[in-house]
């Protein structure tokens, strides 16, 4: 095991917090050497923050979060074991290392299990602008947070007389730091902040009650959508659902609204995940270089996006992340691989241990309104329910709610229906992506038009 | 209690008096309730795939959560250190929720109570040697592959561990629980003529690993996973639209969990956000239907000797002969609704707030033979097994996804159909139950329920049911 004396992430001196994590990691490596491990990797993280929720204009809960953890993976030759603890005392670290080493002692070896070689580590650590601490004291933050939530909820309650009840609004602020190291000499620090504001209200009475919500989530407090906007949007989405009806079973074109469209790409990522591919537990196994989307579609990850929710310089194995296509003009050009699955497939890692980062699908530069016009008649889906997606076969069957569209105009809300199809057919049947890109999460997509699906109703 | 004190308090030199003092420091005028939840959890996991047990993991987590309640307001803080200073900091932080007066704090006297345990205090992790855990996984891999040449891939996972908890509250509650939990899962992928399908089966409970070696349980999981996958190789497209559906016994009881259970949790009903709000005494199901939430079943995955607020669990009747009888309550919501706590206050860990959650939710048996129920259906669907489900408690709409299903034609099971999502309306789905089987069965012990980001283990069960009108989400 090599001893990396200096963190490789930059020439800057370590901050006090970074030094504290680094010192813990040094102790971990001491214990892994004592336990005769041939190699090891670790992740130490610390997150703190708070969540403030209000209901009917009054504070309801204030939760303070303070979490820390150490995860280690040790190697004895090509055998590995993992362990984690929330206790950073010497005794706890030692027993955690011993537990991992003892597990490695009884598992079976696999030549594909190895640490990232140093040449795959990032060469530079650009500032991705993920860390924007607020400037409030704890008390000021509490006051600010409750105010924001109260304004947000009030905006929803006052937006429409049909709003009859509330689940409240909540504001959250979190800040975290982590250190990833391996015994090949990799050291990476990362830190970030995350702020969120959400609101959920109810419209209607007893048999005709509907609930919906809206939210925003950002790295930087100042860029969070205004509480009034979030509240009004929550009210609008809720009231639109009132008097929803069931429709008769049919086949029709479908638009997945931008608020839920990222899920469709999430299923693609599950199906392209290396461990599903090498086990042939995916309907996309063996489809490399095939055309699986229409030729106008590109699906790309942008891991270095400034202030991105999924941004990172290195993946869960310390491998440099890079911008790359998964779908290039409709063609499958990359699986989603870490070191192990890449080795099993005889390929190279794509720096995706731990998943993709800021995935986005190309759009047609048309508005959602125009996409609805393009659909002419069909279903605009705003909610999907349940887990009826089978990555092995690509079979797709989920509960849905949304709006029926005729002549390019929304007619009435619908609910208690199912939406089903086959992912491979749905992907090829994409007839347009609007430019209303949803940037709130790790997958960015506009509303997606699919030429035909089966709708189960009355 | 001794074990819990020894685990959670003694190492840090904490005494009962220290906890009483912490609670007293919160219970200033204007505060209604405070509690401390100490927890030590250790869990392991082993996984086999691609013919090898390539990985194993072990985790330890411990800490204390402190909650302060004033009216409908809750303040909450936690620490992963159990110490005098951590208790003090968390208490200060939690009580900030209310502008309590600084004078006149009340003395707190904890009354230690023990309840008959519903499971043993076994340490699952050390109930079997690591090498034997690996050998079990390998044996199941060989067994599954040996059952049929079409088996292409086998994944086996074994997980187990134990939580030790100690609860102290301002109402004098002082009790402990030691909760073992184990689970074994087998998933397979089969292939024929280029078509691939999967099947999976598992089980467990609050037990030692020896459970899997009794009555060939582990082997049976492998056999069941392979059987399901092979059935799915023959599956044709499922129909779409509303039709008569017969649900099998056991795990299909997830219907009750989604359609009825969540909507009857106290928090939603106090706030009036559930489709069941204000409906106690109403007829919400066919007369043949009686549904309970029962946390008192011995060794079951969803069972608890006491809930996470120290209330002993109960067998709570939710629906009796079709009439809505009770909600499931934790202390906060029971107090605000002027009802009794039912032992349903649960939390994922010390770092999460408790709320009303289900334990084991099931329907009592009826009078019909399951064969008779299938024979009664001219054209419909028989759903024997399910994956997960979800509910919107406000609109009442719920879904659950079949993983093994058949078409019923003229009273007989015909060909298997592809897994499909079923959707219905919680407040009226049970009014459409026209036959209840006499074959009540609980699930095998793999259920996990998520609510507001917190996961807790649960159980479900039901007899075979005929429902006249549920929407099936096939492809036609």
d(CA B66, CA B79): 9
Residue B98 has a pLDDT of 74
Within an 8 Å CB–CB cutoff, is residue A96 touching chain B?
A: yes
> Nearest-CA distance from A125 to chain B in Å?
31
pLDDT digits (tens, 9 = 90+) for A216-256: 999 999 999 999 999 999 999 999 999 999 999 999 999 99
Q: Is the pLDDT of residue A76 over 50?
A: yes
Q: Supply angle C-alpha A237, A240, A246, rounded to 5.
A: 120
Contact at 8 Å (CB) between A279 and B50?
A: yes
Contact at 8 Å (CB) between B219 and B140?
A: yes
Domain coordinates in residue numbering, chain A:
16-240, 244-458
DSSP designation for B103: S
Within an 8 Å CB–CB cutoff, is residue A211 touching chain B?
A: yes
Residue A7 has a pLDDT of 43
Q: Is the pLDDT of residue A18 over 80?
A: yes
Q: Which of B73, B65, B66, B79 is nearest to B100 (CA)?
A: B73
Q: Is the pLDDT of residue A426 over 60?
A: yes
Distances (CA, A) of B325 to A351, B264, B320: 55, 10, 7
Q: Is the pLDDT of residue A8 over 50?
A: no
Residue given tokens 């006051």 in the structure block: A143
* Residues above pLDDT 70, as percent of chain B: 99
Query: Is the domain defined by A16-240 classed in CATH 3.30.2290.10?
Result: yes
Q: Which chain B residues are within 8 Å of A66, Cβ to Cβ? A: 77-80
Within an 8 Å CB–CB cutoff, is residue B423 touching chain A?
A: yes
pLDDT digits (tens, 9 = 90+) for B386-414: 999 999 999 999 999 999 999 999 999 99
d(CA A419, CA A421): 7
Q: Which of B398, B265, B448 is nearest to A401 (CA)?
A: B398
Residue A110 has a pLDDT of 94
Q: Which of B128, B130, B139 is nearest to B210 (CA)?
A: B128
Stretch A271-276: mean pLDDT: 97
Q: Is A408 helix (H, G, I), strand (E, B) or coil?
A: coil
Within an 8 Å CB–CB cutoff, is residue A209 touching chain B?
A: yes
Q: Is the pLDDT of residue A205 over 70?
A: yes
> Nearest-CA distance from B330 to chain A in Å?
16
* Strand-strand pairing, A163-182 and A39-55: antiparallel
d(CA A375, CA A368): 10
Q: Supply angle C-alpha A377, A382, A384, rounded to 5.
A: 115
d(CA B20, CA B33): 13
pLDDT digits (tens, 9 = 90+) for B109-144: 999 999 999 999 999 999 999 999 999 999 999 999
d(CA B264, CA B276): 7
d(CA B2, CA A442): 47
d(CA A245, CA B269): 25
Question: What are the beta bridge partners of residue B55?
Answer: B47
DSSP designation for B213: G
pLDDT digits (tens, 9 = 90+) for B209-239: 999 999 999 999 999 999 999 999 999 999 9
Question: Residue B149 is encoded by which pair of tokens?
Answer: 């040449």
Sign of CA pseudo-dihedral A99, A100, A101, A107:
positive
> Nearest-CA distance from A13 to chain B in Å?
29
pLDDT digits (tens, 9 = 90+) for B73-87: 999 999 999 999 999
The mean predicted confidence, pLDDT, of chain B is 95
Residue A4 has a pLDDT of 38
d(CA A12, CA A10): 5
pLDDT category of residue B331 using cuts at 50, 70 and 90: very high
Stretch B154-163: mean pLDDT: 98
Residue A1 has a pLDDT of 35
* Residues above pLDDT 70, as percent of chain A: 98
Say yes or no for a CB contact (<8 Å) between B54 and A86. no
Does A2 or B297 have the greater pLDDT score? B297
Question: Residue A324 is encoded by which pair of tokens?
Answer: 């790359």
Within an 8 Å CB–CB cutoff, is residue A420 touching chain B?
A: yes
Residue B1 has a pLDDT of 73
Say yes or no for a CB contact (<8 Å) between A416 and B471. yes
Question: Residue A72 is encoded by which pair of tokens?
Answer: 């280690």
Rounded to the nearest 5 percent, the helix, strand and coil shares of chain B are: 25, 40, 35
Question: Residue B11 is encoded by which pair of tokens?
Answer: 């190492």
d(CA A245, CA B379): 25
Sign of CA pseudo-dihedral B74, B79, B80, B81:
negative
d(CA A128, CA A191): 10
Residue given tokens 């790409």 in the structure block: A265
Say yes or no for a CB contact (<8 Å) between A165 and B198. no
The mean predicted confidence, pLDDT, of chain A is 95
> Nearest-CA distance from B88 to chain A in Å?
14
Q: Which of B194, B199, B193, B185 is nearest to B231 (CA)?
A: B199
Residue B102 has a pLDDT of 64
Residue B476 makes CB contacts below 8 A (sequence gap 6+) with: A249, A251, A454, B237, B239, B240
Residue B97 has a pLDDT of 79
pLDDT digits (tens, 9 = 90+) for B271-293: 999 999 999 999 999 999 999 99
Stretch A301-325: mean pLDDT: 97
Residue B100 has a pLDDT of 61
Q: What are phi and psi of A134, to 5 degrees?
A: -75, 165
Task: Give the predicted TM-score (pTM) of the model.
Answer: 0.95
**Which B residues in the span 456-475 are in contact with A, Cβ-Cβ below 8 Å?**
471-475
Q: Is the pLDDT of residue A150 over 90?
A: yes
Residue given tokens 């003694």 in the structure block: B10
Contact at 8 Å (CB) between B379 and B388?
A: no
**Which A residues in the span 359-418 are in contact with B, Cβ-Cβ below 8 Å?**
383, 385-388, 390, 392-393, 395, 397-399, 401, 415-418
Q: Which chain B residues are within 8 Å of A239, Cβ to Cβ? A: none
Question: What are the beta bridge partners of residue B243?
Answer: B470
The DSSP element (H or E) to which B416 belongs, if any, is: strand B412-417
pLDDT digits (tens, 9 = 90+) for B235-271: 999 999 999 999 999 999 999 999 999 999 999 999 9
Say yes or no for a CB contact (<8 Å) between A280 and B153. yes
Question: Residue A32 is encoded by which pair of tokens?
Answer: 């892994």
Q: State the ipTM, two decimals.
A: 0.94
Mutate to test the interface with B, among A41, A67, A107 (most CBs of B within 10 A): A107
Contact at 8 Å (CB) between A188 and A126?
A: no
Stretch A198-219: mean pLDDT: 94
Q: Is the pLDDT of residue A191 over 60?
A: yes
Sign of CA pseudo-dihedral A275, A278, A281, A284:
positive
Contact at 8 Å (CB) between A368 and A434?
A: yes
Q: Is the pLDDT of residue A5 over 50?
A: no
Contact at 8 Å (CB) between B269 and B450?
A: no
Question: Residue B204 is encoded by which pair of tokens?
Answer: 């467990």
Question: What are the beta bridge partners of residue A415?
Answer: none
d(CA A431, CA A294): 8
pLDDT digits (tens, 9 = 90+) for B343-401: 999 999 999 999 999 999 999 999 999 999 999 999 999 999 999 999 999 999 999 99
Stretch B100-112: mean pLDDT: 79
Q: What is the total residue count of chain B?
A: 476
> Nearest-CA distance from B306 to chain A in Å?
24
All domains in chain B, ordered by first residue: 2-233 (3.30.2290.10), 240-473 (no CATH)
Residue B132 makes CB contacts below 8 A (sequence gap 6+) with: none
């Amino acid at each position: 095991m090599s001893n990396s004396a200096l963190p490789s992430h930059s020439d800057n001196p370590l901050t006090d917090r970074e030094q504290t994590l680094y010192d813990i990691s040094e102790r971990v490596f001491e214990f892994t050497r004592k336990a005769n491990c041939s190699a090891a990797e670790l992740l130490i993280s610390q997150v703190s923050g708070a969540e403030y929720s209000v209901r009917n204009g009054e504070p309801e809960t204030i939760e303070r979060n303070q979490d820390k953890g150490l995860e280690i993976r040790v190697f004895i030759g090509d055998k590995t074991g993992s362990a984690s603890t929330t206790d950073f005392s010497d005794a706890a670290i030692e027993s955690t290392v011993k537990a991992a080493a003892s597990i490695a002692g009884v598992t079976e070896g696999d030549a594909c299990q190895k640490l990232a070689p140093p040449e795959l580590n990032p060469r530079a650590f650009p500032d991705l602008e993920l860390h924007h601490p607020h400037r409030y004291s704890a008390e000021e933050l509490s006051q600010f947070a409750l105010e924001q939530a109260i304004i947000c909820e009030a905006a929803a309650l006052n937006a429409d007389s049909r709003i009859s009840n509330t689940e409240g609004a909540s504001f959250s602020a979190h800040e975290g730091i982590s250190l990833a190291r391996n015994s090949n000499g990799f050291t990476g620090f990362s830190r970030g902040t995350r702020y969120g504001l959400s609101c959920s209200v109810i419209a209607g009475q007893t048999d005709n009650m509907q609930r919906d919500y809206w939210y925003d989530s950002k790295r930087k407090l100042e860029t969070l959508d205004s509480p009034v906007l979030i509240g009004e949007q929550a009210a609008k989405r809720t009231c639109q659902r009132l008097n929803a009806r069931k429709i008769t079973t049919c086949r029709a074109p479908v638009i997945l609204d931008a608020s839920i469209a990222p899920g469709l790409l999430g299923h693609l990522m599950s199906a392209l995940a290396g461990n599903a591919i090498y086990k042939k537990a995916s309907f996309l196994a063996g489809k490399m270089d095939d055309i699986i989307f229409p030729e106008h579609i590109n699906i790309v990850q942008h891991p270095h996006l400034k202030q991105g929710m999924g941004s990172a310089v290195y993946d869960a194995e310390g491998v440099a992340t890079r911008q790359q296509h998964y779908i290039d003009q409709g063609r499958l050009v990359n699986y989603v691989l870490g070191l192990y699955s890449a080795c099993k497939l005889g390929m190279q890692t794509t720096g995706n241990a731990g998943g993709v980062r800021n995935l986005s699908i190309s759009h047609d530069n048309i508005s959602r309104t125009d996409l609805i016009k393009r659909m002419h008649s069909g279903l605009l889906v705003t909610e999907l329910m349940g887990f009826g997606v089978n990555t092995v076969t690509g079979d797709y069957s989920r509960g849905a709610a949304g709006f029926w569209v005729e002549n390019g105009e929304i007619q009435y809300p619908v609910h208690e229906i199912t939406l089903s199809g086959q992912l491979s057919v749905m992907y090829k049947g994409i007839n347009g992506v609007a430019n209303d890109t949803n940037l709130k999460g790790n997958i960015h997509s506009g509303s997606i038009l699919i030429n035909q699906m089966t709708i189960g109703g009355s | 209690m001794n074990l819990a004190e020894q685990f959670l308090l003694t190492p840090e030199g904490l005494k009962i008096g220290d906890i009483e003092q912490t609670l007293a420091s919160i219970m200033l005028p204007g505060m209604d309730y405070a509690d401390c939840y100490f927890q030590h959890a250790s869990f392991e996991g082993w996984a086999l795939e691609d013919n090898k047990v390539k990985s194993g993991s072990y985790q330890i987590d411990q800490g204390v959560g402190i909650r302060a309640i004033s009216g409908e307001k809750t303040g909450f803080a936690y620490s992963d250190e159990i110490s005098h200073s951590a208790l003090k900091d968390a208490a200060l932080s939690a009580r900030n929720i209310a502008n309590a007066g600084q004078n006149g704090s009340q003395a707190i006297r904890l009354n230690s109570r023990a309840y008959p345990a519903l499971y043993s205090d076994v340490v699952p992790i050390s109930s079997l040697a690591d090498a034997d855990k690996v050998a079990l996984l390998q044996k199941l891999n060989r067994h599954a592959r040996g059952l049929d040449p079409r088996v292409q891939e086998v994944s086996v996972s074994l997980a187990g561990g134990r939580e030790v908890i100690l609860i102290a509250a301002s109402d004098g509650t002082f009790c402990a629980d030691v909760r073992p939990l184990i689970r074994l899962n087998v998933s397979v992928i089969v292939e024929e003529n280029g078509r691939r399908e999967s099947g999976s089966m598992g089980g467990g409970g609050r037990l030692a690993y020896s459970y899997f070696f009794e009555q060939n349980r582990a082997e049976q999981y492998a056999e069941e996973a392979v059987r399901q996958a092979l059935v799915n190789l023959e599956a044709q497209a499922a129909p779409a639209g509303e039709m008569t559906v017969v649900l099998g016994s056991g795990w299909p009881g997830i219907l009750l969990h989604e359609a009825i259970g969540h909507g009857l949790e106290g928090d939603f009903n106090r706030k009036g956000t559930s489709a069941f709000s204000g409906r106690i005494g109403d007829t919400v199901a066919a007369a043949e239907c009686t549904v309970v939430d029962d946390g008192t079943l011995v060794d079951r995955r969803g069972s608890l000797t006491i809930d996470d607020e120290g209330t002993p669990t109960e067998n709570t009747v939710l629906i009796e002969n079709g009439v809505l009888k009770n909600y499931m309550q934790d202390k906060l919501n029971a107090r605000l609704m002027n009802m009794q706590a039912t032992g349903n206050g649960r939390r994922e860990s010390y770092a999460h707030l408790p709320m009303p959650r289900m334990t084991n939710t099931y329907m009592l048996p009826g009078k019909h033979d399951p064969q008779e129920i299938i024979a009664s259906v001219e054209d419909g669907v028989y759903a024997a097994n399910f994956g997960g489900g979800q509910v919107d408690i406000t609109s009442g709409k719920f879904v659950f996804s079949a993983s093994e299903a058949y078409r019923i034609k003229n009273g007989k099971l015909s060909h298997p159909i592809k897994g499909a999502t079923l959707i219905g309306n919680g407040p009226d789905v049970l009014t459409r139950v026209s036959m209840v089987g006499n074959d009540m069965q609980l699930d095998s012990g793999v259920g996990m329920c998520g609510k507001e980001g917190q996961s807790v283990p649960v159980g479900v069960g039901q007899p075979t049911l005929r429902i006249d009108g549920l929407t099936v989400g096939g492809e036609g």
